[in-house]
Structure 1
Amino acid sequence: MNYLFRLTLLSTLLVCNATLFAQDKQTLPEDSKYHDGVPKGEIIGPIKWESKIFPGTVRDYWLYVPEQYNKEKPACLFIAQDGLNRAKGWHIPEILDNLIHKNEVPVQIGIFISPGVVPAANSNAQARFNRSFEYDALGDRYARFLIEEIIPEVKKSYNISDDPNDRAIAGASSGAICAFTAAWERPDQFRRVLSTIGTYVGLRGGDAYPVLIRKHEPKPLRVFLSDGRNDLNLYGGEWFVANQAMLSALEFSGYEVEHRWGDGGHNSKHAVQIMPDAMRWLWKNYPEPIQAGTTENRRTDLLIPNENWEAVSSGHRFTEGPVANDMGELFFTDIPNGSIHKISADGTVSTFAENSPGVNGLMFGPDGKLYACQNGNKQIVRYTMSGEMEAVCKGVESNDLVVLHDGSGYFTDPNNKKVWRFSPDGKTSVVDTGIERPNGVIVSPDQTLLTVSDTAGRFTYSFQIQPDGKLAHKQAYGHLHLPDSTGNSGADGMTVDTEGRLYVTTRQGLQVLDQPGRVHLIIDKPQDGWLSNVVFGGKNFDTLYVTCGDKVFKRRVKATGVQPWKAPVKPPKPRL
């Protein structure tokens, strides 16, 4: 090696080392430093916690309590994953001290919480580290852990606001997707999300978020994203690309979202530089409430601004079988009570029929009578509008049914994995077997295609109705989204509109599919509970009615429903 080459190499190494040193010794933003005259908050902890939602785990958490905290006034809340080390690495205590002092963020209690660990069984064993399980997973488990365990425990000593607009949640890497998931699942509890180097990749399903954000009814969330171009690129995906996909999806769906991209890798260097600004943006214009996004940019634009679910009947045990008559008045069942109820045009709820054991699905027929699956008596019955009942099909198990314009119909028999046809005179025949749990059943507006939902699977099944009423060309056609906690969709009742769109009640919400079987929109459930069925009703048949748990809800949308027992309606050709 000659002298000149060695000198050049030495110079290059010195420059590289100086650059690396400079990166490690970046100048802190002024609001990330302690300043004389600024009241300092107190750090309390570590506090040990043993979880019931995550059995066997132990963890520590710490509290930040600003000097300005007043127990007579509910404080806002800021939760950071990965404990005090993450919070100190971001300089959160100093930032909150400074920004609260300058009235740039509200007074807030900080909870800095570590992931759980199941301690090793013995000295020769390894502990079970819960971080990925808790942080990377979708679903509401971690949100419930915070809502049911940690926050109530802290509230024993501190006055924390219950308003979701007053709560922020933050994290880095897996902690970031954890923070987003908690708010996504429970916007009734958290509405401000700070995400740095977020792991929105295929570790435990997080790569699904950009699609879900584009399809779901928008939620009232404010989201700050940051990442660097040299972040990880591993088996689960490329972090920077995934964060850009998150930004694109949030913007598409009208969310309030901000981002800061840098050139860094999977570390906190970039986050440290932008953290004071991120915190200001997270709380900007407080206490103005955070608004939900919009569906106006979507191909399927059904939702009307400020039109939300409204309860129209409550106090039941389990509601099912909604159907509307020609005037748009609603009939529905309460299965455990064996009763059928009616909601009149003026909103009055009355009992239409009692002593109807196990009554489930309802449908009107072309004869003007109300058909019902009376499974407790192993029969399908029909009622006149004066309440007189007669049996149509005897000795059959049934769950849901549809009646066509010629008086024939189909019903599902989930316990025996069968789909049946019945003729106008009540004769029955099996037309399909093998769907794991056939449940809801509906026809296309032109009455040539029959759709059956499978509660135990992720598809709806499509059949072509033959001239003799038999079914042909069975296909697992409609592709539904599944919650992370189960492998089945919980698909139940269905309805259709004049555009040929299919509305399916599922665990994930009310999923709206186009004619080719693709989910375009997922409308949130109105409450926790089983979303059992859906139908169009109201004067103009532009109001969705759903049965969910112990209540019935309605919501007006930009669509018009179809009544299967009337003349067929040809829908427009879909966009393929």
Structure 2
Amino acid sequence: MNAEAADAQNPATDGDGHFTIGPDYQTDPDLTDRGNPKGRTFMFKMALADSQIFQGTDTTLEPERKPVRTERRITVYVPAAYQDGTQAPLLIIHDGPGKIKQVAHALDNLTVSKDAKRRLPAFIAIAVENGGNDGKSSQRGLEYDTMSDRLARFIHDEVLPAVLANAEIKAAYPKFALTENPWGRGVMGCSSGGAAALTMGWFRPEWFRRIVAYSGTFVDQQDDDAPEEAQFPLGAWEYHSGMKLIESSEVKPLRIFTHVSENDNRANDPEETYHNWVMAGLRTEAALAKKGYPHRFIFSKGTGHCDKRVFEQTLADTLVWIWQGYQAE
């Protein structure tokens, strides 16, 4: 694909900006089964030992305290609207299977929407399980909280080729293909998975450009003994504070959704950290707005960390917004 095709994005600004929702919530009908044709779900596993990027043996890990998985599940949803042979757009979902069921409902309902402003492209949802546990010294923390292109390389170099090579998928769709257009590649996550979504786009915008981060961990959860500490000593906190990477860097070709809950992470840490979590989300939003990124931000009242009520009300709208302007090859 040439550069002009890869950069051919002309989305309107509908839905950009700062929105406050709650404290009352309801489920969007488009995230439920509305009787439309269903796609197909596939699942396979990848052994960590077979990876060249995340083998589960990094010196930052403490496997006796925070066990590492020996294999990770990859769940793939191919919507009914996908036409075999088409180079499909894709959405990576961290902490798989995660919200893949809701994403599948959105695809079932909104790929066939009669409203052109509320229609989704037939993207492939690829939910990738993390390597295990959480926080510093864990495999999940290594994958999601590290400020580098390592996770992006893992998804690009190992997960996507494994999806394309999967025998079950190939049997169902002999000409199955994924787009190489970075505007056709989104990443979605919550908590550290949300920070990881931004990090994948930040370090590798030539691969991934549509970013969805709910309750993003834009605080310092990077391993204290990680090599990346030398360049980014405060981890994801550097995006908005410290180094102020968003404000101090040239605008990258990214389209970004972020969210923070009023009581984000309070249940996990009732002390000072949760205030920093909310502060980090608000500062990230302010930095993105100041820099002029295509950006949609939601502040949800009366909710906690990765609160399911927020997803149930907003995820369909978020997906419609994040895919706005996509042009298929």
Does the TM-score normalized on the shorter chain lie above 0.5? yes
Answer yes or no: is 1:45 the counterpart of 2:13.
no
Secondary structure at 2:194 match in 1: helix
How far is 1:100 from its partner?
A: 1.1
Shift of 1:228: 1.1
Match of 2:97 in 1: 84
More strand by share: 1
1:164–1:190 CA contact under 8 A, matched in 2: yes
State the Cα distance separating 1:206 from its structure 2 match.
0.8
- Map residues 349-498 of structure 1 onto 2, 5 A cutoff: none
* Alignment pair present for 1:242 and 2:280: yes
Note the C-alpha offset of 1:286. Answer: 2.2
Looking at structure 2, the residues matched to 170 and 220 of structure 1 have their Cα atoms a distance apart, in angstroms, of 17
- Equivalent of residue 325 in structure 2, options 268, 285, 299: 285
- Which residues of structure 2 form unaligned runs of 5+? 1-22, 57-69, 171-175, 223-234
Amino acid at match of 2:311: A
From 148, 155, 161, the counterpart of 2:164: 155
**Distance in 1 (alpha carbons) for counterparts of 2:25 and 2:44:** 29
**What letter corresponds to residue 219 of structure 1 in structure 2?**
K
- CA positional deviation for 1:191: 0.6
Amino acid at match of 1:174: S
Does the Cα contact within 8 Å between 1:202 and 1:236 map onto a contact in 2? no
What residue in structure 1 maps to residue 200 of structure 2? 182
Which residue number corresponds to residue 33 of structure 2? 34
Q: Which residue identity is paired with 2:313?
A: Q
| Distance (Å, rounded) in 2 between the aligned partners of 1:187 and 1:26 | 34
Q: What is the CA–CA distance in structure 1 between the aligned matches of 2:295 and 2:26, rounded to whole Å?
A: 27
Can you list the C-alpha shifts for 1:445-467, whole angstroms capped at 9, x where unaligned?
Answer: xxxxxxxxxxxxxxxxxxxxxxx
- 8 A contact 1:139–1:181 mirrored in 2: yes
**Matching of residue 225 in structure 1 with residue 238 in structure 2:** no
User: How far did 1:71 drift?
Assistant: 2.3
Q: 1:64 matched to which residue of 2?
A: 77
**Contact 1:44–1:63 (CA<8 Å) still a contact in 2?**
yes
- CA distance in structure 2 between the partners assigned to 1:86 and 1:228 by the alignment: 18
1:199, distance to aligned residue in structure 2 (A): 0.4
How many angstroms does 1:129 deviate by?
A: 4.4
1:206 counterpart (230, 236, 239) = 236
C-alpha deviations, 1:485-533, integer Å up to 9, x for none?
xxxxxxxxxxxxxxxxxxxxxxxxxxxxxxxxxxxxxxxxxxxxxxxxx
The residue aligned with 2:112 is: 101
Q: Structure 1 residue 34: deviation in Å?
A: 0.8
Per-residue deviation, 1:86: 3.4
Deviation at 1:136, TM superposition (A): 1.1
Structure 1 residue 73: Cα displacement: 1.4
Distance in 1 (alpha carbons) for counterparts of 2:46 and 2:149: 23
Q: Is the 8 A contact 2:45 2:71 kept in 1?
A: no
Unaligned runs of 5+ in 1: 1-22, 119-127, 290-576
SS in structure 1 of the partner of residue 83 of structure 2: coil
Does 2:155 align with 1:146?
Answer: yes
SS in 2 for 1:63: strand
The structure that is helix-richer by fraction is 2
- TM-align CA RMSD: 2.2
Whether contact under 8 Å (1:39, 1:101) holds in the other structure is no
Give, in whole Å, the separation in 2 of the partners of 1:49 and 1:98: 34
1:219-258 per-residue CA deviation (whole Å, 9 max, x = no partner) reads 0000011121111255656211111111111111111101
Counterpart for residue 140 of structure 2: 131
Contact 1:203 1:236 in 2 (8 A): no
Matched, 1:216 2:274: no
Give distance in 1, aligned partners of 2:82 and 2:142.
34
- Rate the CA distance shift 1:117–1:230 in 2: closer, same or farther, 3 A: closer
Q: Matched residues in 2 for 1:133 and 1:161: separation? A: 28
| Contact 2:188/2:194 (8 A) holds in 1 | yes
Q: Is the 8 A contact 2:26 2:312 kept in 1?
A: no
CA-to-aligned-CA distance 1:255-303 (integer Å, 9 cap, x gap): 11011111111123212211111011001132299xxxxxxxxxxxxxx
CA contact 2:186–2:211 (8 Å) conserved in 1: yes
Distance 2:208 2:40 in 1: 24
Q: CA deviation at 1:52?
A: 2.2
| Residue aligning to 1:422 | none
Take 1:288 and 1:159, find their aligned partners in 2: how far apart are those partners?
A: 13
The one of 109, 112, 116 equivalent to 2:127 is: 112
- State the secondary structure of the residue aligned to 2:162: helix
Task: Tell me what 1:357 maps to.
Answer: none
* Fraction of identical pairs, as percent: 32
SS of equivalent residue, structure 1 residue 83: coil
Asked if the contact 1:65/1:109 (under 8 Å) is kept, the reply is yes
Partner letter of residue 112 of structure 2?
H
- Output the TM-score relative to the length of structure 2: 0.72
1:265 to 280, 304, 322: 304
Structure-1 separation of matches of 2:312 and 2:278: 18
- Superposition map of 1:308-327 within 5 A: none
**Contact 1:226–1:271 (Cα < 8 Å) also in 2:** no
1:170-189 alpha-carbon deviations (Å, 9 max, x no partner): 00001000111001111001
- Look up the SS of the partner of 2:42 in the other structure: strand
Distance 1:244 1:129 in 2: 27
Distance 1:29 1:258, change over 3 A: same
